[in-house]
Chain A
Amino acid sequence: MSSPQFEAVIGLEVHCQLATRTKIFCSCPASPPVGRSVSEVEPNSSICPVCAGHPGTLPVLNRRVVEFAVRAGVALGARIRLKSRMARKNYFYPDLPRGYQISQHEEPICEHGSLTLSDGTPVRIRRIHLEEDAGKSSHEFGLTLVNLNRAGVPLIEIVTEPDLRTPEQAGEYLRELHALVVALGITQGNLQEGNFRCDANISMRPVGRAELGTRVEIKNVNSFRFIEKALYFEISRQIAVLESGKPVRQETRLYDSGRDQTFPMRGKEEAEDYRYFPDPDLLPVCVESAEVEKIRGALPELPAQKRSRWESDLGLSPADARRIVLDPDLSALFEGAIVRTTDREVASAISHLLVGEVSRLREESEGKPGALTAGHLADLGSRISQGELSSTAAKKVLGLAWESGEAIDRLIERAGLRQESAEDALLPIVDAVLAANPAAAAELKAGKEKVSGFLIGQMMKRSGGRANPEVLRGLLQKRIQGN
């Protein structure tokens, strides 16, 4: 993709669904019951005259939504507007019950925030505003079916300035932002359920030029990887268009992950005129500055702070710390597992398990959570650091815990995996391996240190992975020198 002449200019808009109990303007449930997915809820069962837009109904703002937006704003260092306004965005679509969406336009609740990427790039947040979600249309059997369960679900829209230059930066920004809003407790952050949806604006310009090129919007992508891929595709597509001497068309495109390409969204060619005006049914949204300070004071530890604490206090590698902090499941397990320890070795053993084996198991089970708990990890970590369990054995036990959820102790017994460090027990294995590999033994004696790795490997194999390799090494040394 890299063309020496062009650089990409990318801005992102994230729609983040807030984890409030009720919708933004009525008392219908905002999300499915715990443990159920959106698709499992009967269509049009979580609606009332208000969110279905019946005549005569009026919106009443859910204060929790305001609190959550302020929390996001404060965490992103944004300026909080103490008096903001809800506005109507007018357009017709069957899944928009009132014929207008209640959002914020000229006076959003938060402005001028920022989030810094690992390469030091500050990404400026232009605004964060409150709005309601629309319903969902599906087109089946030649019909358009409208489900309004989602209509009125509270969202915040977080809009960046066009400060990003590469798909990787875009991906990193999204992962960081996602971890942040999840840590703030303002969203479930479930990507599959559409809790965190992204629109990307991308244009190309010759390197060194300040003015922006024609912008293409890629709408509604709900996976970080897909956003990166969609941006890669757009960059090469736009460069190809520009290099052929044609102008890029300003349009909205959708990303097809199956074919890994973007295509123009139909029916979006006309410029929309949303005819915004302040919603007369709602009073200005007022926040006391004391309330803002209270929210600021009660912020939980943010991912960036957490990461640097893990690096400095627990000795995690920056890569592992980042990987874990950006992954809500892994960081929940990690934090649970290190509650009772400050031991760097234990922490580092746990972090290795998370980044390695746990991630692998999760991928194998297609994201389904295993029975593994933070307690399991704490137990495994301390056993590894105390030499009770080899890392090979630990992986095996972890796999069993993932499956069954049983206590580590019991699993080790059952699998016969307790690490053997007793010299008495290991000596026969050392002797047997030396006897079986006389040539290698001779080489080692002659000073070829390299073969010791092979011999220890054989011994580990013979012990079924249970032997403590350090003890084996000592015994082998003794035998070679002693004879």
Chain B
Amino acid sequence: MITLSSIHESVVGGAASFESTLEKQLGTITSGARINAFISVTADRARESARRADLELAQSGGRIPASKPLLGIPVAIKDNLQWAGSRTTCASKMLQEYVSPFTATAVMRLEAAGAVIVGKTNLDEFAMGGSGEHSAFGPTLNPADESRVAGGSSSGSAAAVAAGMVPVALGSDTGGSIRLPASFCGIVGLKPGYGRVSRFGLVAFASSLDQVGPMGATVSDVEKVYRVIEGHDPLDSTSIAVRAPIEHKGPAGLRVGIPAEFFAEGLDPGVRASVERALARLKEQGAVLVPISLPNVHHSVACYYVIAVAEASSNLSRFDGVRFGSRTDAARSASSLEEFYCENRSLFGREVKRRILLGTFVLSSGYHDAYYGRACQVRELIRQDFSSAFSKVDLIASPVAPAPAFKIGEHSQSPLQMYLNDLYTIPANLAGLPALSVPVEPHSSGLPVGLQLMAASGGEDLLLAVGRTLEVTR
């Protein structure tokens, strides 16, 4: 893997230019094309920004200006983030020809910080999936073992970092979509707390759960990107103002909650072993491990698959082929409005259709209260579980996923099995909390394993500080 700091070191030291660095990375992207990490590679635009970055570096006396912490850094963007002038497909046939008319706030902030965007990465269609297999452009392969899934939905961003194509990438996380692929691919991924990063320009899956976040080779690279993209955005009413970062020394004296529910039945013994060794290291560094309970988290998956699909069914209504997106031939010759919608919306993939149908059902009159209404109440209980836990502990630690990356196609017959992969990641989305996935000692099979750290609202700095020490001692 390549890191942000190594690029800056070599360019500032005169060993390379941003342009030559970019060419090298584009070469890695091309030679790793079988990984299927990218849906679009925007080489020409990237070359232009790399040249501009070299010029800016020269103008600032060969130093990285403080206002441009990402100057010249190749970055990949998940293809559900709008970037004006590029295709934004969401890995769907529905948007295969859709060109962004505007740029997402997070992407705009990356560009303003000097980043060189190299392309748009693969994902599960509309970010719906945990494996990276549900893409109209084919599955993303896991660079650690190409017969295995990269994890999803930010599969391409994770694989691009893991394969050394880019040091950092943007992903989005609705129920684990940053953390899961990060752990499967052996990289770092941060899901910021809800509202920390503007969602403007992120194609919505489930608006109350979606969050844009950074993925990278190291915790400090992830932190650099996070500092650039965080903060209030007048275009997103749910975004919140940034506070000055809080300095944290590391694990010494911290109380780390170990929720019994996250180490229960269904956890792969190898994953458990890796995670427990990481926890032991935290303890060695002076952290106090506190057994805790989150009594309602076992409802998380059910709760999530009601709320997320309900919001998704509404969010995806706009894809009707009237104003943008693709129109099928059958839709073009439709004889009624209903036929037009039916034909055109057949462009959605199976998983997306499944979730739209589920979401429409749980909001329907007669079922609304029993499903959607109930799920909202359960969500509140889960929130309360966390707030009472965080009155006792500073952090909560758990595995990211119950098992390491599985074989491509292994779960394709069982959506439910697939949904259970999100068991440990979903609660942080439901509660709106920040969570970090850091690679720990690999699984006995050699596959990467991720440790998840969750903090109370506003605890991103703490997560990053503790994550950094885990990385150093890895």
Contacts and interface: CB of A to CB of B under 8 A. Distances in A.
B339 to A, nearest CB: 12
Interface size class of B (residues with CB under 8 A): 35 or more
Contacts of A277: 310-311, 314, 363, 368, 372
Interface string B73-100: 0000000111000001010000100100
B81 A100 contact: no
Contacts of B133: none
A283 B238 contact: yes
B203 A280 contact: no
Task: Find the residue from A49, A99, A144 having the highest chain B CB count within 10 A.
Answer: A99
B199 A275 contact: no
B199 A98 contact: no
Contact of B317 (A54, A99, A273): A99
B203 A55 contact: yes
Contact of B207 (A52, A97, A144, A280): A280
Contact of A53 (B311, B318, B368): B318
A146 interface: yes
A275 B101 contact: no
B364 interface: yes
Contacts of B311: 277, 280
A281 B194 CA distance: 12
A275 B360 CA distance: 8
B104 interface: yes
Given A92-B341, A100-B317, A55 B204 contact: yes
Given A55-B204, A280-B207, A90 B314 contact: yes
A99 B237 contact: no
Contacts of B365: 273, 275
Contact of A49 (B101, B207, B368): B101
A78 B201 CA distance: 38
B95 A55 contact: yes
A58 B200 contact: yes
A261 B112 CA distance: 62
A88 B314 contact: yes
A275 B207 contact: no
A328 interface: no
A367 interface: no
B234 interface: yes
Contacts of B280: none
Interface string B188-210: 00000000000111111011100
B125 interface: no
A400 to B, nearest CB: 53
A94 B364 contact: no
Contact of B237 (A49, A55, A58, A92): A58
Interface string A126-139: 00000000000000
A97 B102 contact: no
B104 A283 contact: no
B237 A275 contact: no
A283 B235 CA distance: 13
A275 B313 CA distance: 10
Nearest to A267: B337
Interface size class of A (residues with CB under 8 A): 20 to 34
B101 A100 contact: no
A437 interface: no
A28 to B, nearest CB: 14
B318 A55 contact: yes
Contacts of A283: 237-238
A120 interface: no
Contacts of A117: none
Given A275-B314, A283-B237, A92 B320 contact: yes
Interface in A56-76: 56-61
B132 to A, nearest CB: 20
A275 B200 contact: no
Interface string A142-159: 001010100000000000
B237 A282 contact: yes
Interface string A260-282: 00000000000001011101111
B9 interface: no
Contacts of A148: 323
Given A56-B82, A94-B322, A277-B363, A100 B234 contact: no
Interface string B230-262: 000011111000000000000000000000000
B81 A56 contact: yes
B364 A273 contact: yes
Interface string B45-88: 00000000000000000000000000000000000111000001
Contacts of A60: 234-237
B238 A281 contact: yes
A282 B203 CA distance: 16
A61 B320 CA distance: 25
Contact of B318 (A58, A98, A144, A273): A98
Contacts of A55: 82, 88, 90, 95, 98, 203-204, 318-319
A92 B313 CA distance: 12
Given A97-B318, A273-B364, A61 B237 contact: yes
A56 B204 contact: yes
Interface in B328-378: 337, 341, 360, 363-365, 368, 372
A275 B90 CA distance: 25
A388 B98 CA distance: 75
A57 B200 contact: yes
Interface in A139-187: 144, 146, 148
Contacts of A53: 318, 323
Interface in B84-130: 88, 90, 95, 98, 101-102, 104
Nearest to A59: B237
Contacts of B316: 99
Contacts of B310: 277
B235 A275 contact: no
B96 to A, nearest CB: 13
Contact of B201 (A56, A90, A275): A56
A146 B322 contact: yes
Given A277-B363, A280-B311, A54 B237 contact: no
Contacts of A61: 237
Contacts of B202: 56
Nearest to A92: B341
A412 B320 CA distance: 66
Nearest to A88: B314
Contacts of B238: 58, 280-283
Contact of A92 (B82, B317, B363): B317
A194 to B, nearest CB: 22
A242 B74 CA distance: 75
B90 A94 contact: no
B274 to A, nearest CB: 36
Contacts of B235: 58, 60
Contacts of B204: 55-56, 281
A273 B311 CA distance: 16
Task: Find the residue from A58, A90, A148 having the highest chain B CB count within 10 A.
Answer: A58
A163 B320 CA distance: 41
Task: Find the residue from B95, B207, B317 having the highest chain A CB count within 10 A.
Answer: B317
Nearest to B210: A280
Contacts of A99: 314, 316-318, 320
Task: Find the residue from A56, A88, A276, A280 having the highest chain B CB count within 10 A.
Answer: A56
Given A53-B318, A56-B81, A60-B236, 10 more contacts: A54-B318, A55-B203, A56-B104, A58-B199, A58-B236, A60-B237, A100-B314, A275-B313, A277-B363, A282-B237
27 contacts: A52-B323, A53-B318, A53-B323, A54-B82, A56-B81, A56-B201, A56-B202, A56-B203, A57-B201, A58-B237, A58-B238, A59-B237, A90-B314, A90-B363, A97-B318, A100-B317, A146-B322, A275-B360, A275-B364, A275-B365, A280-B207, A280-B208, A280-B238, A281-B204, A282-B237, A282-B238, A283-B237
8 tightest A-B CB contacts, nearest first: A99-B317, A280-B208, A275-B363, A280-B207, A55-B203, A56-B201, A56-B82, A53-B318
